[in-house]
């Protein structure tokens, strides 16, 4: 079985789930990447020879009222005809939408995997409204990562019988970590963007310091809100309490997880409508055995059981988050107990094996329909 895996980016640090799909899906995975209409197959550009001549021909055809496929689409079609994949697996709704016409022309089944912004951001939903409907009609399966996302896509016209719900899974190495709950440290991992609201997390931690001035927060990640976070830390006099680590790999994140009390993240709906799917870092933290303090947002309540494996607050509730952070600082034994419950729940329902098995079943069902 050949799977043409389409990804808008090649190796985005925040998109480890795509690399997991690339490595773990059954069959031969042809990795097309860079752009909503991919421009590369593995390391090889798809641009056709004599592209200037092709563009000139296209100009002439348009002048006389004839249709002409853009060169980027023609290049991709040319590659797909050569490789003959059994199915196209498009990461992100936008990629699936803009490639629907190509899949239809070639008669290749299409699976589209939504991840977050592509099912929530206002401008995206407006811009691709028509293309999404065409994709919903043609696609054989549409993958979603939360109950909230499933309801949203249904409201946009996605047929319920095509929707496949599967949450992401944690890499198996997280469940082997040995944790020490004694340090008064919190860990946050993620891009510093509006929907992750790092500034609200900083404000909650500042309130927590009023009760535990020796507590620490380690934040792994960077992004457009980094300068705001840095300024806030300085303004609130928290330089000794907050460590901004920048981008880091799995080994660094796992090392940090082994000596913190809890994982924290204040996700919220951004001003432009952007929402999480189900944050992978939250699943990974619970797989390691850490409790999670976060928000009732997107797929987070699917994987964090409030008051059992962690605590959830409403979006923007800084005081509530601070109170729960303080509670776990006061009671390390309770943090360990919640972490153990989360670890068991993840192992039962949200492992990488669960996720990949669901995707493989969806792919095999589609290919079997050909």
| Contact yes or no for 240/214 (Cβ under 8 A) | no
198-209 vs 318-330: helix axis angle to the nearest 10? Answer: 50
Based on the fold, state whether residues 114 and 202 are members of the same structural domain.
no
| 46 vs 370: which has the higher pLDDT | 46
Mean pLDDT, range 337-344, rounded to an integer: 98
**Lowest-pLDDT range, 43-57, 207-221, 343-357?**
43-57
DSSP 311-357: EEE-TT-HHHHHHHHHHHHH-HHHHHHHHHHHHHHHHHH-BHHHHHH
Based on the fold, state whether residues 157 and 196 are members of the same structural domain.
no
Predicted confidence at residue 326, as pLDDT, reads 98
Q: Quick one: pLDDT band at residue 11, thresholds 50, 70, 90?
A: confident
Q: Does the pLDDT value for residue 135 go beyond 60? A: yes
pLDDT mean across residues, the chain = 94
User: What is the residue range of 130's domain?
Assistant: 2-169+352-368
**Lowest-pLDDT range, 61-70, 84-93, 129-138?**
61-70
Q: Which of 227, 181, 175, 185 is nearest to 205 (CA)?
A: 185
Mean pLDDT, range 265-291, rounded to an integer: 97
Q: How many CB atoms lie within 10 A of CB 361?
A: 14
Based on the fold, state whether residues 52 and 144 are members of the same structural domain.
yes
Based on the fold, state whether residues 176 and 163 are members of the same structural domain.
no
Mean pLDDT, range 196-224, rounded to an integer: 98
Based on the fold, state whether residues 23 and 52 are members of the same structural domain.
yes
Predicted confidence at residue 243, as pLDDT, reads 98
Percent of the chain whose pLDDT exceeds 90: 88
- Show the DSSP H helices in 107-181 as ranges: 122-127, 129-138, 147-156
Residue-wise pLDDT tens digits, 181-209 = 999 999 999 999 999 999 999 999 999 99
Q: Does the pLDDT value for residue 59 go beyond 70? A: no
Based on the fold, state whether residues 31 and 110 are members of the same structural domain.
yes
Cα–Cα dist 25/197, whole Å: 33
DSSP 17-42: HHHHHHHHSSSEEEEEESTTTT-EET
Based on the fold, state whether residues 191 and 238 are members of the same structural domain.
yes
Predicted confidence at residue 370, as pLDDT, reads 53
Look up the pTM and report it: 0.92
Question: What CATH number corresponds to the domain at position 288?
Answer: 3.40.50.2000
Predicted confidence at residue 66, as pLDDT, reads 56
Based on the fold, state whether residues 176 and 190 are members of the same structural domain.
yes
| Contact yes or no for 215/243 (Cβ under 8 A) | no
> How many residues make up the chain in this entry?
370
Mean pLDDT, range 83-89, rounded to an integer: 98
Q: How far is CA 147 from CA 31, 97, 114, 143, 292, in A?
A: 28, 21, 12, 11, 19
Mean pLDDT, range 135-163, rounded to an integer: 98
Predicted confidence at residue 70, as pLDDT, reads 76
Mean pLDDT, range 277-298, rounded to an integer: 97
Predicted confidence at residue 57, as pLDDT, reads 61
Q: How many CB atoms lie within 10 A of CB 232?
A: 17
| Contact yes or no for 343/175 (Cβ under 8 A) | yes
Based on the fold, state whether residues 359 and 322 are members of the same structural domain.
no
Based on the fold, state whether residues 344 and 263 are members of the same structural domain.
yes
The tally of domains found in the chain comes to: 2
- Per the structure block, which two tokens stand in for 67? 């249709």
Predicted confidence at residue 368, as pLDDT, reads 84
Q: Which of 124, 162, 160 is nearest to 275 (CA)?
A: 124
Cα–Cα dist 352/190, whole Å: 19
Based on the fold, state whether residues 184 and 331 are members of the same structural domain.
yes
Q: Quick one: pLDDT band at residue 92, thresholds 50, 70, 90?
A: very high
Based on the fold, state whether residues 363 and 341 are members of the same structural domain.
no
Within its chain, how far is the Cα of 111 from the centroid? 17
Predicted confidence at residue 369, as pLDDT, reads 58
């Amino acid at each position: 079985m050949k799977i043409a895996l389409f990804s808008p980016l090649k190796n985005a640090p925040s998109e480890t789930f795509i690399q997991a799909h690339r490595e773990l899906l059954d069959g031969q995975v042809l990795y097309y990447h860079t752009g909503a209409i991919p421009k590369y197959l593995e390391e090889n550009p798809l641009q056709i020879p004599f592209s200037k001549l092709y563009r000139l021909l296209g100009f002439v055809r348009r002048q006389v009222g004839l249709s002409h496929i853009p060169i980027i689409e023609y290049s991709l079609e040319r590659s797909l005809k050569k490789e003959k994949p059994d199915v196209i697996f498009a990461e992100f709704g936008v990629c699936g939408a803009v490639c629907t016409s190509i899949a239809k022309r070639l008669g290749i089944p299409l699976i589209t995997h939504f991840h977050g912004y592509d099912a929530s951001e206002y401008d995206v939903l407006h811009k691709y409204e028509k293309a999404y409907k065409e994709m919903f009609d043609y696609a054989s399966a549409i993958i979603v990562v939360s109950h909230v996302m499933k309801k949203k896509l249904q409201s946009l016209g996605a047929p319920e019988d095509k929707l496949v719900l599967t949450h992401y899974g944690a890499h198996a190495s997280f469940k082997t970590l040995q944790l020490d709950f004694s340090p008064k440290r919190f860990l946050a991992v993620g891009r510093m963007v509006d929907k992750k609201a790092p500034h609200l997390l900083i404000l909650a931690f500042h309130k927590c310091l009023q009760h535990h001035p020796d507590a620490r927060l380690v934040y792994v990640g960077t992004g457009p809100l980094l300068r705001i976070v840095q300024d806030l830390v300085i303004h609130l006099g928290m330089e000794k309490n907050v460590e901004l680590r920048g981008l880091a790999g799995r080994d660094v994140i796992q090392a940090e997880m082994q000596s913190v009390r809890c994982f924290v993240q204040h996700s919220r709906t951004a001003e432009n409508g952007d929402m999480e799917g189900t944050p992978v870092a939250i699943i990974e933290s619970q797989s390691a055995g850490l409790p999670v303090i976060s928000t009732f947002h997107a797929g987070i309540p699917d994987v964090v059981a409030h008051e059992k494996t962690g605590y959830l607050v409403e979006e923007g509730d800084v005081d509530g988050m601070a109170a729960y952070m303080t509670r776990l600082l006061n009671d390390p034994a309770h943090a360990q107990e919640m972490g153990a419950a989360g670890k068991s729940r993840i192992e039962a329902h949200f492992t990488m094996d669960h996720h990949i098995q669901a995707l493989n079943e969806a792919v095999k069902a589609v290919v079997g329909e050909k």
